[in-house]
Amino acid sequence: MTHSETTIDHFEPRSPVLKTLVERGYVNQATDLAGIDAAFEEGIVPAYVGFDATADSLHVGHLLPIMTLRRLQKAGHKPIVLIGGGTTRIGDPSFRSEVRPMLTDEQIANNIAGIRKAFDRLLVFGDGPTDAVMVNNADWLDSIRWIDMLRDVGRHFSVNRMLSFDSVRSRLEKQENLSFLEFNYMILQAFDFFELSRRTGCRLQMGGADQWGNIINGIELVRRTEGQEVFGMTAPLLTTSSGVKMGKTAAGAVWLNEDRLSPYDYWQFWRNTEDADVIRFLKLFTDLPMDEIASLGQAEGAELNAVKERLAHEATRLAHGVAAAREAAGTARQTFERGEAAHGLPTLHLDDEERSAGVALVDLLVRTGLSSSKSEARRAIAGRGVRIDGEVIEDLDHVILAKASPLRLSLGRKRHAVVK
């Protein structure tokens, strides 16, 4: 028996939680939607998502699986957050063209401490039947003996099949190096599902669409060794309407921890959402009920700005709290509606001659301190990293004519200035 992909097309869930996941857009594919649906109806389903500790903060690209765990917990199921203290030492090769940098044990421990902060906002941890738990796969991977792993686990894996998975095949077809170290990653991830099934009764693994092959391996290992029926489900890999990968910008990742990215800049990231993405993101990244989202979806033209601000408030509230969300909105209004340089944002005052003649954008980026040189400014513009009042500017020769009201000049999501 092998598990084949089943999609949400023409499938009508009976369990409220799966219905919610489907209508909000969290489900891309699953090993057995009917089986997952039945499990949700039978009782509490422990479900896990894995996160390697490659940085001391998660970013917006990680939010989708975290929000999926949040939905499950709100529906009475148990989230398991697996931190890859062991697998981080190897690095997931899925759809990557280069090897991840090796981290020391101290760096990994520091990253795990930072990562925990995001989950404490979005999930409820504790000892109750539906409380979230965080586990570290170093607890079992560090003690594995090589010969035992080969004998007990390795015999269940076909190299032919491992080579057929897209994440591996894409590297080989491009003649990109895939080390034996990285090749072992999918076995270790499968072993994680095996251990969580035994230790916690975990029945469902979730992840991004790029994790499909790794998830399948885990399901097969649990079935072969334990005779247990477990399931896998993936979420879509999100891109914006303009084709940019969610959470990635020209200026870098949009971090969830405030020591990496301020709540104000986080709020601005969501406020700058493209028109075509606003309703989709409200479904995925806020707790607003579907009927209210449907009502907000009627907005058109300038009314969409208010909807974007609602998205920014709700998303920031989840990640940083109500107070931070309100303060971020207030800072935006104070700075860009009233023309005040709130919270020390750099402000450049142009003289009357410059106002009438205009100033090159590359010069303004340097004069405001957002760029250290004109060449750096041009690279940022070419990389779609520069915005004026939230609008991306791609013209390297763009000239700014100052208006009566201040202009908001932004480099990426983190750095802003006011031009008067």
Distance CA 26, CA 18 (A): 9
306 and 383 both lie in a single domain: no
Angle, helix 278-285 to helix 16-24, in steps of 10 degrees: 150
Supply the pLDDT for residue 43: 96
Query: Does residue 289 sit within a domain?
Result: yes
Query: Does residue 317 sit within a domain?
Result: yes
**CATH number, position 314:** 1.10.240.10
415 and 365 both lie in a single domain: yes
**CATH number, position 397:** 3.10.290.10
249 and 138 both lie in a single domain: no
Query: Does residue 46 sit within a domain?
Result: yes
Angle, helix 33-42 to helix 16-24, in steps of 10 degrees: 130
Supply the pLDDT for residue 348: 77
Half-sphere exposure of 346 (CA within 13 A, CB side): 16
Query: Does residue 7 sit within a domain?
Result: no
DSSP assignment letter at 368: T
Supply the pLDDT for residue 101: 72
- Residue identified by tokens 């340089």 is 341
Supply the pLDDT for residue 237: 85
CA dihedral 34, 35, 37, 42 (to 10 degrees): 140
47 and 172 both lie in a single domain: yes
Distance CA 255, CA 229 (A): 36
66 and 195 both lie in a single domain: yes
Residues 6+ apart with CB under 8 A from 96: 171
Query: Does residue 149 sit within a domain?
Result: yes
Query: Does residue 169 sit within a domain?
Result: yes
Angle at 315 between CA 309 and CA 320, to 5 degrees: 115
Query: Does residue 11 sit within a domain?
Result: no
Supply the pLDDT for residue 317: 97
**CATH number, position 97:** 3.40.50.620
Q: How many domains does the chain have?
A: 3
60 and 170 both lie in a single domain: yes
Domain boundary among 184, 200, 235: 235
Domain boundary among 235, 266, 282: 235
231 and 253 both lie in a single domain: no
251 and 219 both lie in a single domain: no
32 and 140 both lie in a single domain: yes
Domain boundary among 220, 235, 250: 235
Angle at 397 between CA 396 and CA 399, to 5 degrees: 125
Q: Quick one: which of 374, 391, 386 has its CA closest to 410?
A: 386
265 and 322 both lie in a single domain: yes
Supply the pLDDT for residue 93: 56
Walking along the chain (420 residues) 10 residues at a time, the average pLDDT comes out as: 59 95 95 95 97 92 95 98 90 56 88 94 96 96 84 81 76 77 82 95 94 90 92 90 68 82 88 92 97 95 92 97 93 64 63 79 85 85 85 86 69 76
Supply the pLDDT for residue 341: 46
CA dihedral 216, 218, 224, 229 (to 10 degrees): -80
Supply the pLDDT for residue 2: 43
Enclosing domain of residue 412: 346-420
